[in-house]
Each structure stands twice: as C-alpha cells, then as structure tokens.
Amino acid sequence: MTVTGKSNRQSDLRAFIAELRELGDLREISGADWNLEIGAITELLGEEEGPALLFDGIRGYPKGFRVVSNVFRTHARAAASLGLPPDLSGVALLNAWRQRLRDLAPMAPVVVKDGPVFENRAAGDTVDLGLFPAPVWHEHDGGRYLGTGSAVITRDPDSGRINIGTYRCMVQGQDRISVKMNKGKHGRLAMDRYHARGEPCPVAISFGHATSVFLAAQLPLAPGVEEYGIAGWLQGSAVQVVESPLHGLPIPASAEIVIEGEVPPPLDRAALPKEGPFGEWPGYFADTTTGEVPLMHVKAVYWRNDPIILGVPPLKPPNNYISVPLGAAQLWDQLEAAGIPGIMGVWGHVYGGQSGPFTVVSIRQSYMGHAKQTALAAASARAGAYGGKFVVVVDDDVEASDIDDVIWALATRCNPREGVDIVKGVWTSPADPAIAPEDRSPEGYTMDRVLIDACRPYRWRDQFPAVNVFSDAFRDKVRDKFGL
C-alpha cells in the first residue's frame, strides 16, 4: 500500500475509493448478505489489517446499492485520510497528527445550489429506509444499523452553531430511526434545548460522505470551531454543502444518502422503541435500552445514483475502526499543558473516541516522582479520564504503541509495592462493561484507576542492568553491510 497522502484533498467518498482501487488497496465483494455476512467479512479482514472493502450485489438489493468498510484500518490509509505521509506508524504517526493540528486553519463550508445528493428523492409516505442495505454488523446486534460512520447534523437553537456528530443509528421502521445521542454530547444538548421549548429538533443525517467529514466529527473542538471547517482544512478545500429542503440544515452536496426529519419532544418515554444491543468499541455488546434513545421521524430521503453506505462498525480491539488513537494526541497536549516535562509518546491500546482504558505514556525521566506525577496527570486529564482505567508510564526507550515492549517494561521494571497505585471513583464512560449493574446510574458513572510506574527506578537508575540488545548504530551498520 503506497497511498500518496493526496486523499485528504479529495472531496467525496467516491474519490477516496477510486484512489484505493487504483493502488490495489480495495477488495470488491459481490453477493454478501446484509444480515451478518458483511459484518463478519469486515471483522475478518480488519483483523488481518487487510484492504478496504466495497460490497455490491448485496442480497435482496439491486446492484449499485453498496457498503464500504475498513476504510481507516491500516496506518497508511489512516495517514492518507489525515493528510500525513503514509509511511508513518505508531507514536510517530500520532505525533505528526498532533503537530499538524498546531497549524489548524478551519475553512468555512461553501453553500452551493445543488449537488449529486439530490439525484433521487422521497418524501412523506414514499420514505422507506429499507431501500438501503443497512447491515446487521455483529452477531448479536438487535437490529440493522444504517449509521455507524454517520454524520448527524443539528443546529443549536440558541447560538445557531452547526454540529456534526457520529452517533449510531438503528433502523426502527419505514420512516423511523433511533439516533443514540448520549447525554452531554453537542447534538444531544441542542436537541434538549429544542425540547425544553416544546419544539421538535430538526435533524439531517448523512450515511456516506468524504472521509474528512467523518474524521472531523470525531475530534474534540475548541469553542466556536465547527466540524465542517475542520473537514475543509483536512481535505484542503472548503466542503461544498447544500441546504436541506425541509429545515435548511447544511448537508454535504456530494453525500451518498441523507435523511431529514425531526426528533419530537419525548411526550411518552414508553413510546420509544428498544435500541440495541450493539457491539461497541470496548469489544462487548452494549445493553438494550427502552425509552432512552431519541427517535427520529424521517420526513424525506435524498440519495445519489448507486449510493454507498460508509460503514465504520466498532469491533473487538485491537481491530479498531481507525488504526491510530486520535484521542491520545489530545491527552499528550493536555499533559504538556499541565507542565509535565519529557513526554516522548502517548498511546491508547483499547480506544474509542478518547485514549481509552489502557493508556501508555513514555517519558524521559528527570527527577524523583516524575513517573508518578505523569500517571496522576494522565488519569485526571479530561482526555484520559473519560473511559480510562489503567495508566502505564514507561521510559523513553520503550515504544508506547508496541504492546509487547510495554509488557516487557511492566514485567521487568515495575516493583508492584512501590510502582502501583489505585485511585477510586473517577469519572468514566457508560460503555465500560466492568461497571456493576447496581452502580449504573442516570447521575453518571465512575471507575477506579490503576496507575503503574513501569520505568527504571529513578533513585538507582544508573545501577539498573543494561538492556540486552545491540545499539541502533551497530544494527544500522550491519544492515548496510549485509543488505538486511
């Protein structure tokens, strides 16, 4: 795979797929069933860090109604989507992304009059979400999820700010779909403000769009910065949007499939259908809920000829939907902002939107207590707290993204009596399957933290045994001499 990195300048999903096809990094599969087979193939090829997958001729659907998955699974494809050199991997890739964010210059979207998204339309009684081959992604999912790589577009009724979030969307009927906007998320905050006024919340959802739009929806943004601006910066040109016919929401002009409608105020929670279970990013099935997940009433659907669903299903780690933990870049910045010196690398080994429950920080030790200070800061920083559980601090000769290297350091440098601490009752994500049923509360969730110092003991570091490995200089010399 030798993606050139120019994909970030491409303005729609089809252009990215075309480049992958040209480079031989796309596998096209015909005849798969939307019920489990697409999901199983995605899982199997994802485990192998294989090519992106484009499904056509899906059982029960006309040729041309397609699903694409595994788009970001390899370092090369992730780097290309982020506008970075494709030969980067591990901490070097994450750090390059972190440095690129230093030059962030959002590009406001450009409103155009028309776009391919309006090649086909349905409204009112003709709306039928069954028109599209929404997969059952995991073996025990409770239904068909049209939205896993979705872009849920809302407008705040007070500020007018446009938000794009990626929330899972489960088909509930011909013109009904659940939109799992968790409490505290920007889309949910906007919805709650409409509902507080007794008004329905207007919503538009894209189910296939430029990779830049999807990635922008994953990033934590500074106040006043909108996702479309980030997407434009990522792709190197302003995102072209059209106003949705019913509510005037900006939708990508080149989107594959867009639904438009509203989420009415919850007059009767009992009327809300079941949502889930669904296989989530920690590698477990999230609970089935009733009366909690907002239900969208779909009033209109717009789609391109031969539409493509962007599928980004969560899979059991390390088969992560994107091969680099973007949230770890934010944690790295927060550690430096807290005044922690010598941070050489940060990585999450199980992750969703944040750094996840197993975070590794590599440092260049410079004083007594440096490692413990780093662990405490990482566990309490916002990007490390939500969904966090284990924080391991290692020396700078350990590659934070190499789990074997991390385990080696943990096994050989940590004295559990001195190097392990537990902090109880820290804010966390409801997705953590280890939260006991009696501790699950609408008021919020907490989880303990294990802080592990896997560095050479600073007090007697000079007496610590030398590592049994050739120096980089000698290894390079031998490689050059013998063409290794």
In sequence order, what are the beta bridge partners of 151? 206
Please calculate the CA angle 254-258-260 and round it to the nearest 5 degrees. Answer: 135
Look at residue 9 and tell me whether its pLDDT is greater than 60: no
Average pLDDT in the 244-256 region? 98
Q: What are the pLDDT digits (tens) for 195-227? A: 999 999 999 999 999 999 999 998 877 667 899
User: pLDDT band for position 10 (50/70/90)?
Assistant: low
Most confident range, picked from 268-272, 289-293, 433-437: 433-437
Q: What is the pLDDT of residue 2?
A: 40
Q: What is the pLDDT of residue 443?
A: 73
Average pLDDT in the 334-351 region? 95
Average pLDDT in the 442-460 region? 92
- As a whole number of angstroms, the distance between CA 201 and CA 151 comes to 16
Look at residue 5 and tell me whether its pLDDT is greater than 70: no
| φ, ψ dihedrals at 376, nearest 5° | -65, -40
Q: What is the pLDDT of residue 260?
A: 99
Look at residue 423 and tell me whether its pLDDT is greater than 80: yes
Which domains are delineated in the chain? 6-310 (2.30.110.10), 326-463 (3.40.1670.10)
Q: What is the pLDDT of residue 458?
A: 97
Please give the single-letter amino acid code of residue 161: R
Q: What is the pLDDT of residue 366?
A: 97
User: pLDDT band for position 290 (50/70/90)?
Assistant: confident
Average per-residue pLDDT for the chain: 93
Asked if 167 contacts 185 with a C-beta cutoff of 8 angstroms, the reply is: yes
How many Cβ atoms are within 10 Å of 172's Cβ, its own excluded? 20
3-state secondary structure of 363: strand
Average pLDDT in the 304-312 region? 98
Average pLDDT in the 396-415 region? 97
| pTM for the structure as a whole | 0.91
Please, which residues have CB within 8 angstroms of residue 281's CB and are 6 or more apart in sequence? 314, 317, 320, 321, 350, 351, 352, 431
Q: What is the pLDDT of residue 427?
A: 84
User: pLDDT band for position 267 (50/70/90)?
Assistant: low
Residue 284 DSSP code:
S
The DSSP element (H or E) to which 77 belongs, if any, is helix 75-81
User: pLDDT band for position 353 (50/70/90)?
Assistant: low
- As a whole number of angstroms, the distance between CA 100 and CA 188 comes to 30
Q: What is the pLDDT of residue 108?
A: 96
Look at residue 383 and tell me whether its pLDDT is greater than 90: no
How large a percentage of the chain has pLDDT more than 70?
97
- As a whole number of angstroms, the distance between CA 213 and CA 151 comes to 7
Q: What are the pLDDT digits (tens) for 131-167? A: 999 999 999 999 999 999 999 999 999 999 999 999 9
Asked if 209 contacts 150 with a C-beta cutoff of 8 angstroms, the reply is: no
The DSSP element (H or E) to which 275 belongs, if any, is strand 274-275
- As a whole number of angstroms, the distance between CA 345 and CA 326 comes to 13
User: pLDDT band for position 439 (50/70/90)?
Assistant: confident
Look at residue 370 and tell me whether its pLDDT is greater than 80: yes
